[in-house]
Structure 1
Amino acid sequence: MSDDLAYRFGFLCVTRGRAPEAVTQWHRLDLVGQDLFVHPESTVQSVATERGDTAIVVGDIFVAHGVSPLDELLLSIADGDRRPLEDLSGRFALFVVTAGEIVVLHDPLGSQALFYARSGGIAGSHAALVAETLGVAQSRRVRQYMALPEYKARKTRFLPGDLTLFDEVALLPPNNELHLRGARTSRYWPIHPVKDSSREEAFAIWDEYFTNYARFLAPRYSPVLGLTGGTDSRSVIASLHSKGIELRCETWDSMPIQERERIDPMVAHLRVNHRWLDLSHRVDSTRFHELRSAAKKAAGFTRGTPLLPALMDDRAGARDVFLYGHGSGVMRGSYSRLFKPWLPEDPLKRHYALYAGPNRKDASRAYETFTLEALRNFLNRANYGSELHGADIGDLFYWEQRMANWAALQIATFSVTMQSHAALNSRRLFSTFWGIPGEARSTKELNKDVMRHYDPVLAEL
């Protein structure tokens, strides 16, 4: 039971005959000598070109930009063109089968995490599932690193680079694809330099994105969001609310008093179904404990024992999807050297400064050595030496490391209770906001401007 919850909405592509017991009751697809196992609650769709090349999507996918039908875009991808990926969003993994080779990609943010065996031939939705398939134990070195005081002092904990708690299992960075049999990665994005854009152009792309996202959500899901005083989730709420999407909101009681005082007026204004969650509450039931254990495993044992998914389970419906406000930091340039000119120019030193933060000044040799090694390997496997078309590597690092590791695993923990998405998840959206000149894109005023456009009252609460 706990495995089925931990790997909910998951998948595993494995050499025939090597499937672990956890997936034997899942749906199975034949991929040229490989078996693709898909959790019964996951959606699957596929297209094939005239010459037999195939694109298979596992999970939620929709056309976020433009007017081309989804099948047409998928056929182009199966034919080797990666440009259509700029117009797609959702939470998905994409398997492309061409001339006997299997290539695996995922959604823009990597919100559907994708892990693979460094030895090749195995890729899946959860690090623990890939490790179980390989029959390997947790890494002693990584556990020792996580026990270091510098790591434990981090406000936001996630492993550096593409590390997992298993030495033989790696995380695929977004904007890279995995050539499955040889476990080789290659970068396919950025595909062109960032173009200058105005705030009006950026808002037009934002509106197009949420118009299409709302069309995707309406017949399938009942969105649930965390209602806070922050701008990220409120800008998402304002956008979807304006598109006629009915929302349910939850708020947990760990916020400052000033922020708490804004919640009730927002609920009254939005007229949404809302409740407060007490983070000190525990339920002495088998289901509650199973959910917490499953969420811990879903995150590859790197996020403690999550509580929120279990607390929200009693109201979770079959159509519910939890929407995170993840993605705003990518647009704002949270790690960009444009707004942090003190950052080192050297990619490795810059990545270390951004990951380690102030702790690096007094870090032990063990912490520094391990972190630098992990980031050096990440830069290699994420192909930072390939053509980046002038993109700020700080922007890419925030996206491809922080979002793909910390945010994606947070999403995985919620999936034990309900489907989960990153609400801001579009390459075209990100790159358009990158083109806004000066410091305009680095402040949260952009999010407030979005709110003012859709809901002026909410923006000022």
Structure 2
Amino acid sequence: MYQKIDELRKAFWHLRHGGLKQVRRWNRNRIAGSLESRKHRYLPSEALTSSSPSLTQSWQAIANRLETSLSAADVRQYRNFFAQGWILTNTPNPDVSLPEHWKSLGFGAWTCQFDPDLEVHHVVHAEGEYEILLLGQATDSAKRLHTSKSVASELLKELSSSLGWDAFDEAVTWLGGRFVAIGRRSSSVRIHVDAMASRSCYWARQGGHLVFASHSILAAQAIGDVAASGSRWVLTHPDYHNPAGKCLPGMVSPHDAVKMVIANCALTIQGSEISHRRFFSTPPESLSVAEAAERYLSELRFQMDAALAHRPKTVFGLTAGADSRAILTATLDLLHTADVSAMTYHFFARNADHSREDLLGANRLANLSNLKHRVLDVSPRRKTHAFTSMYSKTFPTWARFPTLARTYYEELGADEALILGIGGEVGTVFYRDREFDKITPEVLAGKYTQSAFQHDPRLIETMTEYMDYTELSEENSAGYDLLDLFYWEHRMSTWAAYGYSEADFGPLVVLPLNSRRIFHAMLSLPFKDRLRRSVYHQLALWSGISA
């Protein structure tokens, strides 16, 4: 009787802290723990051992898997707010409520505090005049550098062996991965984000106080200004509608006093001066489809090979879409060798036709590819204080996709890497209508939303500010179409990166397409070949697998 009371108490504890999902998981583990005793209750040990040893082994394998298959929520217990976060300030003790377990290091006259779950590499030149702080995962295919540690050392070498920032900029340009790279030359600092700005860098200043951070709220709190009227205006605007979910336009940030470092731009701090300048200036080439496909294939395989070494287990986000199929075709042998599982999520509560068809198509691909297929239900879950508290503290002004973030957190493991095939449309064509004499703020507002909100004067004003801030103009385009750059830089830096930050609560998010070598190759094709996704068709021809 006392044992049953104790089990009920434990069940209620799990119910309060994680809801029915956590109760079921605890109960499965409890049952697995007593599996052996229940076996002996029905069959004698001799019979199990002599007549069916393989069954015993199978049962034990399941019991072991139940015992070790812990979700990120099980491991982190809803305490990892600002997950994989960091903050860099020129004052030692910013007025920010950070998790107690965060670590700290000095970076010249600056102080960096960071989540231990974030991979951080800090290297200093012997003379102390040069420093590199690399946050996240970075690779260099040309130099065969698979790890952030080796990349950080190479960046320091480039920075300390040349005058100015050009060598450092060029080295960062061709890195793959998901990272923020910060270099220091004496008192001057330069901050780079990865090719799609997928690991965000927000920044703010108040007088002489400068702060750079992974999350908008950290930067806002550090300068004592958490006003968010701009994001509230966008998200509650009566004319703004987007069935796929809303995002923030132009220079509108989650907090009014905070800005972002945008893809293909770098932030330089020299004394009291801060400049945000476009640095990517390598023009597209004139490639054949076969040449572009060969570059795509080579770079993607390198990035995937590096990605598969990040965690003991890996999950590949599989859809029935062209980008996902191309990645699968290009790296299938690597996925098999690493025993990767495919994963697709679906809104079972809504069960929309397009989502259901995508799930069935992904399942067919997984079956044909001999990959285990995990299906996650992202239907709304019962609200719990534990997740809601952690999420709202990390993202207090804008919730992009919290149900998906929670699903990843409660279904995938902290020891898993989640590979997402986002980014392919940078190289194909996202904005197909290009019949414009000139790209203006009004044009960009129309690309941002097709709703009546596109005509709002304040929206057009923030698009004007965005074009100035990112130096988005024909003169600075390096020969790329401005609409391609706008999709690449605006949509990836804001809409996409915010989603990755939400997913950081759980597994490690990896983006094997996040490389300018891939984007440059695909953008070096004629418009018609990009529109046809000719690179993907070439891969299908080489593989002999029908698209």
For Structure 1 versus Structure 2, the TM-score category normalised by the shorter chain is 0.7 to 0.9
Q: 1:127 to 1:291 in 2, by over 3 A?
A: same
Find 1:223's aligned residue among 308, 314, 319: 314
SS of equivalent to 1:412 = helix
Find 2:366's aligned residue among 256, 267, 287: 267
Give, in angstroms, the shift of residue 34 of structure 1: 1.6
- Which residue does the alignment assign to 1:97? 184
- Which residue does the alignment assign to 2:81? 6
Residues 211-238 of structure 1: CA distance to partner in whole angstroms, max 9, x if unpaired? 3223312332233233221112222233
Deviates more, 1:65-74 or 1:339-348: 65-74
* Letter of the 1:174 counterpart: A
**Matched positions, count:** 447
1:440 equivalent to 2:529? Answer yes
2:289–2:534 contact (8 Å) kept in structure 1: no
SS of equivalent to 1:420 = strand
Residues 376-419 of structure 1: CA distance to partner in whole angstroms, max 9, x if unpaired? 11111112256332222111111110011000011111111111
- Which residue does the alignment assign to 1:32? 108
Find 2:154's aligned residue among 59, 72, 80: 72
Give, in angstroms, the shift of residue 159 of structure 1: 0.6
Give, in angstroms, the shift of residue 36 of structure 1: 0.8
- Which residue does the alignment assign to 1:197? 287
Q: 1:300 to 1:206 in 2, by over 3 A?
A: farther
Q: 1:183 to 1:224 in 2, by over 3 A?
A: farther
Residues 320-378 of structure 1: CA distance to partner in whole angstroms, max 9, x if unpaired? 1222222111111323xxx5332351332331221133x2xx448xx611211211111
Q: 1:403 to 1:295 in 2, by over 3 A?
A: farther
Residues 144-196 of structure 1: CA distance to partner in whole angstroms, max 9, x if unpaired? 33111332345342111132121101121111112246473333432232211
Give, in angstroms, the shift of residue 262 of structure 1: 2.4
1:295–1:305 contact (8 Å) kept in structure 2: no
Distance in 2 (alpha carbons) for counterparts of 1:309 and 1:129? 20
Higher relative contact order (CA 8 A, sep 6+): 1
1:43 equivalent to 2:119? Answer yes
Find 2:200's aligned residue among 110, 113, 116: 113
* Letter of the 2:104 counterpart: R
Give, in angstroms, the shift of residue 49 of structure 1: 4.4
Q: 1:445 to 1:150 in 2, by over 3 A?
A: farther
Distance in 2 (alpha carbons) for counterparts of 1:350 and 1:320? 41
* Letter of the 2:130 counterpart: D
Q: 1:309 to 1:444 in 2, by over 3 A?
A: same
1:128–1:298 contact (8 Å) kept in structure 2: yes
1:162–1:405 contact (8 Å) kept in structure 2: no
Give, in angstroms, the shift of residue 296 of structure 1: 5.2
SS of equivalent to 1:197 = coil
* Letter of the 1:383 counterpart: E
Give, in angstroms, the shift of residue 116 of structure 1: 0.5
Find 2:333's aligned residue among 234, 239, 242: 242
1:175 equivalent to 2:250? Answer no
1:115–1:169 contact (8 Å) kept in structure 2: yes
1:224–1:250 contact (8 Å) kept in structure 2: yes
RMSD, aligned α-carbons = 2.7
Q: 1:429 to 1:264 in 2, by over 3 A?
A: closer
- Which residue does the alignment assign to 2:398? 302
Q: 1:56 to 1:246 in 2, by over 3 A?
A: same
Distance in 2 (alpha carbons) for counterparts of 1:262 and 1:34? 50
Q: TM-score, normalised by structure 1?
A: 0.88
Q: Please identify runs of 4+ aligned residues in structure 1 that moved more than 6 A.
A: none
- Which residue does the alignment assign to 1:166? 255
* Letter of the 2:443 counterpart: R
2:416–2:508 contact (8 Å) kept in structure 1: yes
Give, in angstroms, the shift of residue 266 of structure 1: 2.0
- Which residue does the alignment assign to 2:323? 232
Q: 1:174 to 1:296 in 2, by over 3 A?
A: farther
Alignment of 1:43-442 (within 5 A): 43-49=119-125, 52-67=129-144, 70=151, 71-77=153-159, 79=162, 80=165, 81=167, 82-119=169-206, 121-153=210-242, 155-180=244-269, 182=272, 184-221=274-311, 222-243=313-334, 244-254=337-347, 256=354, 257-280=356-379, 282=381, 286=384, 289-295=385-391, 298-299=394-395, 301-304=397-400, 306-335=402-431, 339-357=432-450, 359=451, 362-363=452-453, 368-384=456-472, 387-442=476-531
Q: 1:85 to 1:198 in 2, by over 3 A?
A: farther
Give, in angstroms, the shift of residue 277 of structure 1: 2.3
| Percent identity (aligned) | 20
Distance in 2 (alpha carbons) for counterparts of 1:261 and 1:87? 36
Give, in angstroms, the shift of residue 281 of structure 1: 5.8
Q: 1:261 to 1:188 in 2, by over 3 A?
A: closer
Distance in 1 (alpha carbons) for counterparts of 2:95 and 2:540? 48
Deviates more, 1:250-259 or 1:402-411: 250-259
1:323–1:423 contact (8 Å) kept in structure 2: yes
- Which residue does the alignment assign to 2:55? none
Distance in 1 (alpha carbons) for counterparts of 2:272 and 2:459? 26
Residues 66-106 of structure 1: CA distance to partner in whole angstroms, max 9, x if unpaired? 54763334422464221122321111111111121222111
Gaps of 5+ in 1: none
SS of equivalent to 1:6 = coil
Find 2:96's aligned residue among 6, 11, 20: 20
Give, in angstroms, the shift of residue 445 of structure 1: 4.4
* Letter of the 1:105 counterpart: H
Distance in 2 (alpha carbons) for counterparts of 1:356 and 1:49? 48
Distance in 2 (alpha carbons) for counterparts of 1:140 and 1:72? 43
Distance in 2 (alpha carbons) for counterparts of 1:7 and 1:72? 29
Distance in 2 (alpha carbons) for counterparts of 1:195 and 1:346? 23
Deviates more, 1:440-449 or 1:427-436: 440-449
1:295–1:309 contact (8 Å) kept in structure 2: no
Distance in 2 (alpha carbons) for counterparts of 1:345 and 1:36? 43
* Letter of the 1:271 counterpart: N
Q: 1:3 to 1:152 in 2, by over 3 A?
A: farther
Distance in 1 (alpha carbons) for counterparts of 2:156 and 2:510? 21
